[in-house]
Amino acid sequence: MKGIIIINLGSPESPSEADVKRYLKEFLMDKRVIDINPVLRAFLVKGIIAPLRSASSSEAYKSIWGERGSPLKAITEDFAAAVRPKLDVKLAVCMRYGNPTPLDALNELGKVDEILIAPMYPHYAMSSYETALEHVKAAVRARDKSIKIKALKPFYNEPGYISALAASIKPYLERENFDAVMFSYHGIPVRHLQRSDPTKNHCYMGADCCSVKSDAWKYCYKHQVGVTTKLVAEKLGLPENKVILSYQSRLGKGWIEPFTDKLLEELPGRGVKKLLVVCPSFVADCLETLEEINIRGKELFLQNGGKKLVSAACLNVSPEWVETFANYCNLCDGEYSGAWE
């Protein structure tokens, strides 16, 4: 019997400072998130970052917290509920950090001999896709090493995903004429790109490395987000001069550029007064979209002379995305077998 586990990032149990601090420690102590010496990582996270950021992060979570708690968890649960009736196998949900855990998901599935693991990340990054996948794999192997595992590959260029994403953005463009559309992706450190490069001689080794075909593309976050942006813009008929690609949520120095917040400061001075922001690295709305972009980002843009910033909703539970994901799962041994490995 086959089962499916979808995994998303996770959230604190509540927006209280204590719960947020606990969550930050779990998240930032992940060796694939802060990939430095373990002793130094523990000192930075437990002694500096978590204590200093927990209060402000708590306030940020409070600004988006709903009746059902974390929007990310609620939306992921709703997505699973929408997909389940379209599947002929069991599906369970877990989070990389916090609850429910992979063990909870395995207990929900019961006895299975094959598990399809679906990280809810369109693009490969060691700090998102890889850590989520390996987290579930470890739990499955600890439960029963005989269980066969398949993983949904990053779907950044899959036609169904591109079509669903374009369809979710199109209504905003039909309602209003924007000066530009910003595709804002979660940032990662440059060193993560280089560590994930299997060739060890491609990423950031040239001025235009993302356009030079390489085996590194399979693991190159920057290349993959560029492909997503290009395909969605073409699907929507957006002219190149109206498309902006940027990276948000940086922590520290040496992250890939350009930075979303810096551009939000500068764009009004360049004549961009009405801006649509989409966040394709997230399939469900979360702190980074609802607070970082739709609250702080909007305020920053308006303070610097912008007239209007609209933050597009993520795919969430859009019918086309639900249908696309169900097809990935139902046809994993046939039409969509190439989407799994």
pLDDT score of 207: 77
- Alpha-carbon torsion 242, 292, 153, 127, what sign? positive
Give residue limits of the domains in the chain.
2-154+319-339, 159-311
pLDDT score of 206: 78
Closest CA relative to residue 277, chosen from 263, 287, 269:
263
pLDDT score of 68: 96
Residue 208's CB is within 10 A of a number of other CB atoms, namely: 6
Determine the Cα–Cα distance for residues 325 and 327; give it in Å rounded to an integer: 5
| Cβ neighbours for 235, distance < 8 A, ≥ 6 positions apart | 162, 163, 166
Beta bridge partners of 92: 5
pLDDT digits (tens, 9 = 90+) for 39-78: 999 999 999 999 999 999 999 999 999 999 999 999 999 9
Q: Which residue has the tokens 């993959």?
A: 224
Q: Is the pLDDT of residue 321 over 90?
A: yes
Residue 258, preceding peptide bond in cis (omega within 30° of 0): yes
Q: Which two tokens stand for residue 134?
A: 């390996």
Closest CA relative to residue 286, chosen from 310, 313, 263:
313
Distances (CA, A) of 151 to 61, 134, 194, 198, 339: 31, 10, 23, 19, 8
CB-based contact 23:110 (threshold 8 Å): no
Residue 84's CB is within 10 A of a number of other CB atoms, namely: 14
Q: Fold match between 2-154+319-339 and 159-311?
A: yes
CATH dotted code for 2-154+319-339: 3.40.50.1400
| Helix and strand element counts for the chain (H, E) | 13, 8
Residue 200's CB is within 10 A of a number of other CB atoms, namely: 10
pTM: 0.96
**Residue bearing the bigger pLDDT, 336 or 247:** 247
pLDDT digits (tens, 9 = 90+) for 99-135: 999 999 999 999 999 999 999 999 999 999 999 999 9
| Confidence band of 225 (pLDDT split at 50, 70, 90) | very high
pLDDT digits (tens, 9 = 90+) for 13-34: 999 999 999 999 999 999 999 9
pLDDT score of 327: 94
Q: Is the pLDDT of residue 211 over 90?
A: no
| Confidence band of 223 (pLDDT split at 50, 70, 90) | very high
Report the topology of domain 159-311.
Rossmann fold (3.40.50)
pLDDT digits (tens, 9 = 90+) for 134-182: 999 999 999 999 999 999 999 999 999 999 999 999 999 999 999 999 9
| Cβ neighbours for 174, distance < 8 A, ≥ 6 positions apart | none
Q: Is the pLDDT of residue 231 over 80?
A: yes
Determine the Cα–Cα distance for residues 216 and 124; give it in Å rounded to an integer: 11
